[in-house]
Amino acid sequence: MQKINLAEKFALIHEHWSPKIVAELNGQHIKLARLKGEFVWHRHPAEDELFLVLHGELTIRFRNGEATLREGEMIVVPAGVEHLPVAVNEVEVLLLEPTSTRNTGDVLNDRTVLRPDWI
């Protein structure tokens, strides 16, 4: 067993919207990501997705509203719910999701990460 220092792991992440795996737990990946700008509307048909903001502010838009998360706040986006993450300034987030979860869900585009790197 090894402890994980999140600040050290974030220092290894330089690109936005490219989640990195830092641990696995009960079929779930714990991922870290830097986010900036607008992502893409997408949904995860069979998987819930947890966003925990560690630094900055993240807005997640839904077709019927939005939620703004500040440091220390989190949200679980239920499976099948279409959403669009938006970060005006850089945000550091921790994601918890099943190992099968693709970052762009049901959308394939240039931001799709098929095999996230472990750091």
Give tens-digit pLDDT for 70-111.
999 999 999 999 999 999 999 999 999 999 888 888 888 888
Look up residue 65 and give its amino acid: G
Give the Cα separation of 56 and 92 in Å (integer). Answer: 7
Give the Cα separation of 66 and 110 in Å (integer). Answer: 25
Has domain 6-98 been given CATH number 3.40.50.850? no
Give the Cα separation of 89 and 41 in Å (integer). Answer: 19
The pLDDT of residue 66: 98
Q: Which residues is 83 bridged to in the sheet?
A: 42, 62
Q: Among residues of the chain, what percentage have pLDDT more than 90?
A: 84
**What mean pLDDT comes out for the span 17-40?**
96
Structure tokens at 73: 């706040």
The pLDDT of residue 24: 96
Output Rg (C-alpha) for the chain, integer angstroms: 13
| Structural domain boundaries in the chain | 6-98
Predicted confidence band at 115 (pLDDT cuts at 50, 70, 90)?
Answer: confident
